[in-house]
Amino acid sequence: MFALIWKIATLDVLADLYVAAGPGERERMAAGVEALNARRRSSPHDEGESRSNGFRVAFPPLLAVFFHVSEADRVVRVVRVQRYGR
């Protein structure tokens, strides 16, 4: 099991995206982030697409979420989120 840490600035961006979204989009975002968080805690290397230096990107509904996996510390750090898709 991995610990999951969201940077505060990243959570602020997620909150802004959520507030700017319509009601249906908010439901999709919330459900997607919740499911993604659960999967990253158990098997983060299987989630999303790999990038260099241990970084990965995943695409829950309407978002792109960038995170770093530290195998040595057993920690996943979410470092960036942005609006993506429709």
Q: Supply the pLDDT for residue 86.
A: 76
Q: Report whether 63 contacts 33 (CB < 8 A).
A: yes
Per-residue model confidence as pLDDT tens digits over 18-51: 999 999 999 999 999 999 999 888 889 899 999 9
Domains and CATH numbers, the chain: 3-83 (3.30.2310.20)
pLDDT at 8 over 80: yes
Return the structure tokens found at 35.
């499911």
Q: Supply the pLDDT for residue 41.
A: 87
Q: Report whether 55 contacts 68 (CB < 8 A).
A: yes
Q: pTM of the prediction? A: 0.91
Find the length of the chain: 86
Instruction: Measure the CA–CA gap between 77 and 83, rounded to whole angstroms.
Output: 19
Q: Supply the pLDDT for residue 77.
A: 96
